[in-house]
Structure 1
Amino acid sequence: MNTAPQLAFAGDCRQAFEFYARLMGGVITVMNTFGANEDKALPPGSTAAAPDQVRFAELSLGHSVLRGNDVPPDQHVPMQGFSVSLHIEGANEARRIFEALSEGGTVTTPLAEVDWADRVDLVDRFGMVTDRFGVPWLVLAVKG
């Protein structure tokens, strides 16, 4: 078994996934639009977004996968109640990614050394940010 977050966007899934791929060195393995898949049935309870909107996207990030899609703007609910946790090797790389995610977003907890790091052998820094696409992230710098 494995898990993969599935994020719902209000029309900017493509922009978000292209940004994440560049930022994190990932590879977009799937980017299907509603218009290119009109002949395929939607899952029960789903509503099609505009033809140019993303029906399904998948981003490979090392051994992890991030999935996403667009929903009609009137059906979009802001993401809450979870965070996507990034465990990044090295404080400098964690800082680079955290700062990029922060641009146009909201920092909840600045990336900083944590007083509990000495009790958690692998963690060096921790921060929380919601990016400009509305995705909440936990960024942890882990020791290599």
Structure 2
Amino acid sequence: MAELVPQLEFDGQCREAFERYAALFGGEITVMNTLGETGDVPLPPGSTAGAPDMVRFAELRLGDTRLLGNDLPADQYASPRGFNLAMHFETADEARRIFDGLADGGSISVAPTKVAWAALFGMVTDRFGIPWLILGFED
């Protein structure tokens, strides 16, 4: 069986984003290395080295789920589009807390509201440019 694991790309903000996500979601950063720390390991084909302090690979564990990330040089970075990260929570209160944390410094595209399929539904792009869809299922 395959495992689907999202990997996010950042414009030099991977460390800050993952530290924020770990605090907000209650997860644990299990890997965070930089290009300077792993300079002897070849880059994947088609990759270009960035500054030594750029994150080469990060892993955040959220229960049984993993979120991966890395930084890209500015000339290779493009803002994410065409997807969002959907997070489902048992309660609307927990969903609201996460939504508000992601909205801090970000932009709200759909304010949290009750919908037919969830007690709370909202869409936000966080301060790092990552789009999120947040759902809470019980009032």
TM-score class, shorter:
over 0.9
Native 8 Å contact 2:31 2:59 kept in 1: yes
Distance (whole Å) between structure 2 residues aligned to residue 71 and residue 64 of structure 1: 23
Aligned to 1:120: none
Native 8 Å contact 2:34 2:56 kept in 1: yes
Distance (whole Å) between structure 2 residues aligned to residue 133 and residue 31 of structure 1: 17
Native 8 Å contact 2:103 2:124 kept in 1: yes
Aligned to 1:24: 25
Deviation string 1:70-101 (CA, Å, 9 cap, x unpaired) is 00012110000000111112111110110010
Amino acid at match of 1:51: P
Aligned to 2:130: 135
Asked whether 1:96 is paired with 2:97, we answer yes
Q: In angstroms, what is the RMSD of aligned CA positions?
A: 1.1
Native 8 Å contact 2:96 2:120 kept in 1: no
Deviation string 1:24-52 (CA, Å, 9 cap, x unpaired) is 00000110100000000000011112101
CA deviation after TM superposition for structure 1 residue 53, in Å: 0.8
SS at match of 2:113: strand
Amino acid at match of 2:134: V
User: Unmatched 5+ residue regions in structure 2?
Assistant: none
CA deviation after TM superposition for structure 1 residue 64, in Å: 0.9
Distance (whole Å) between structure 2 residues aligned to residue 21 and residue 109 of structure 1: 24
Number of residue-to-residue matches in the alignment: 138
Query: TM (normalized to structure 2)?
Result: 0.96
